Amino acid sequence: MAREETLPTSDFAFDLLKELRVPYNVRRHSLKVADKALEIAERIKSKEINFDLIEIGALLHDVGRCQTHGFKHALIGANLIRERGLSEQLARICETHILGGIDKEDAKQVGLPERDYLPVTLEEKIICLADKYLAGTKEVSIEQRFKKWFEKYGKTPILVKAKARIENIQEEIKNLS
């Protein structure tokens, strides 16, 4: 069983984004993702959810974008969180929010250290899903989100797999409400 970890406050999270000079558009996106993730979490009745983790995790999920907007922002964000001695649960949220999560095989292809970056806990899944619903600050459907990505990058195996994975997460969460 994971030990209880103390989470920072939302003020701390905002200050950290500011201190690390995470761009304003990313900060606004993160606020929207937090709203959306909380909205999704509130609909779930049959499972216990850590709302504080959802809020703070969503605010910090893109913290790694202070260094890069590439896939590595997930890992960089997780490492920034770990370096500061913050909750491992927050680091995991950073690491598992890209696409529908990234598996070992995809990780290798996108230049990440070869291991799974898949959302496992409900909180990780909710933030990963909420992030897909927000293109910047604009709310979109999973279909719209992937349509844009398919137009931009083509129907690559990674994107096709990611869409199926996020649809599964969407379905799993829907069935909990």
Interface residues with Fe ion (CB under 5 A)? 62
Provide the 10 A C-beta neighbour count for residue 114.
11
Distance of closest approach, residue 82 Cβ to Fe ion, in angstroms: 17
CB of 117 to Fe ion, least distance (A): 12
C-alpha to C-alpha distances, 54 to 103, 149, 153, 161, nearest whole angstrom: 23, 26, 30, 25
> Look-up: residue for tokens 């680091």?
91
Report the residue number whose CB is nearest to Fe ion: 62
| Minimum gap (Å) between residue 90 Cβ and Fe ion | 14
Which is closer to Fe ion, CB of 62 or CB of 123?
62
Nearer to Fe ion, 43 or 69 (CB): 69
Q: Which two tokens stand for residue 103?
A: 């598996």
Smaller CB distance to Fe ion: residue 69 or 108? 69
Q: How far apart are CA 130 and CA 86, in angstroms?
A: 22
